[in-house]
């Protein structure tokens, strides 16, 4: 039995809130991907080079990285030869199996937040403006608060107009403290105040917003280096996480942002927002291919609990369930 059939067997008759969110949140991607693969199978009576050329295009258009597409298709070709498969309709489960076995192989699959064993955990949030960073911070804080942790925010994006106020509004809604500076002020001084106040208050987690000015890479690099130095001075193991927020609807531009940010600072995990708004769910695979950095959270809607810990099996099922029927 292939990987997808095992996952499918697990999910049928065992609906949970989390896998329902994945199915609903990945509906656009699943419909688009399934329609294209099923249409491909319907157009070919036998598997040939033209079939594989079209399959490559479908995967690339679904935002799976080009290098990974070549690897996936090569693996599928081997399996087809080995099993002597002629009928394209028999190939769907092999396509899915190869996609996700390759994702899982040699992968850092940790989706858990690396919390400090004792004392303060510091999380730096990075990402370009418009990716949904501020909302993600609020959703992450809400999630941690529900898990019983005390949370404080630091409004370290002092450059974008309104960023401080926006974060402060979320903090008030969630009834958690927010450390602020002046708009246009030194962001590192906000981080310093945040770490100092969080330690004094005995807070479990400090989540720090940062500016998203990727066009000024040198300035941003210096800024993040300074923030890291300040954090390490008072929390030697911090920041325990540097999470990069990427808007999934931007596709390959989002992947390129991830590549650029990884050159500027050490990224420990990815948060993919607006997955419910894209028909190209393969971006998860593309990030793995380009960076081998784990996707830790995935945004499947606008509600506070729609930020879900990334789960490979839920993702596979959400993206591909329409391919197999019931």
Binding residues for GTP: 127-134, 209-213, 273-276
Cα(30)–Cα(323) distance, integer angstroms: 8
Kind and range of the H or E run holding 232: helix 217-234
DSSP string covering 12-43, please? TT---HHHHHHHHHTHHHHHHHHHHHHHHHHH
Residue 23 — φ and ψ, nearest 5°? -60, -45
Which residues are documented as binding site?
Answer: 127-134, 209-213, 273-276
**Residue 125 token pair:** 């949030």
Largest CA distance in the chain: 70
Chain mean position to CA 8 = 23
Beta strands in the chain (DSSP E): 121-126, 151-154, 178-179, 205-209, 241-247, 269-273, 295-299, 307-309
Bridge partners (DSSP) of residue 178 are 153
Which single residue is written with the structure tokens 């030697």?
Answer: 236
DSSP assignment letter at 282: T
Residue 219 — φ and ψ, nearest 5°? -65, -40
Q: CA-CA distances (angstroms) from residue 114 to 174, 238, 282?
A: 23, 10, 26
Burial class, 98, CB count within 10 angstroms (exposed 0-12 / middle 13-18 / buried 19+):
buried
DSSP string covering 100-125, please? HHHHHTT-----S----SSS-EEEEE
């Amino acid at each position: 039995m292939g990987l997808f059939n095992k996952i499918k067997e697990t999910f049928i008759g065992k609906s949970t809130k989390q896998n329902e969110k994945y199915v609903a949140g990945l509906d656009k991607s699943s419909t688009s991907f399934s329609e294209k693969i099923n249409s491909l199978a319907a157009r070919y009576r036998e598997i040939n080079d033209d079939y594989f050329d079209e399959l490559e295009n479908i995967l690339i258009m679904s935002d799976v990285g080009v290098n990974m597409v070549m690897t996936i298709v090569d693996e599928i070709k081997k399996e087809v030869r080995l099993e002597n498969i002629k009928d394209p309709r028999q190939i769907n489960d092999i396509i899915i199996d190869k996609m996700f076995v390759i994702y899982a192989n040699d992968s850092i699959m940790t989706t858990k937040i690396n919390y400090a064993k004792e004392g303060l955990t510091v999380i730096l949030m990075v990402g370009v403006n418009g990716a949904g960073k501020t909302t993600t911070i609020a959703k992450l804080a809400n999630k941690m608060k529900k898990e019983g942790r005390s949370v404080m925010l630091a409004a370290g994006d002092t450059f974008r107009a309104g960023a401080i106020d926006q974060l402060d509004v979320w903090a008030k809604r969630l009834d958690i403290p927010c450390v602020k500076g002046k708009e246009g002020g030194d962001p590192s001084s906000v981080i310093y105040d945040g770490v100092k106040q969080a330690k004094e208050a005995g807070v479990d987690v400090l989540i720090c917003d940062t500016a998203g000015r990727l066009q000024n890479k040198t300035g941003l690099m210096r800024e993040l280096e300074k923030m890291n130095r300040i954090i390490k001075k008072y929390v030697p193991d911090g920041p325990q996480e540097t999470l990069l927020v990427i808007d999934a609807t931007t596709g390959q531009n989002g992947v390129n942002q991830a590549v650029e940010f990884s050159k500027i600072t050490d990224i420990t995990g990815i948060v993919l927002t607006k997955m419910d708004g894209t028909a190209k769910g393969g971006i998860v695979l593309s990030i793995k291919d380009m960076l081998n950095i784990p996707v830790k959270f995935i945004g499947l809607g606008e509600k506070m609990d729609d930020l879900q810990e990334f789960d490979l099996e839920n993702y596979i099922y959400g993206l591909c369930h329409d391919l197999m029927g019931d």
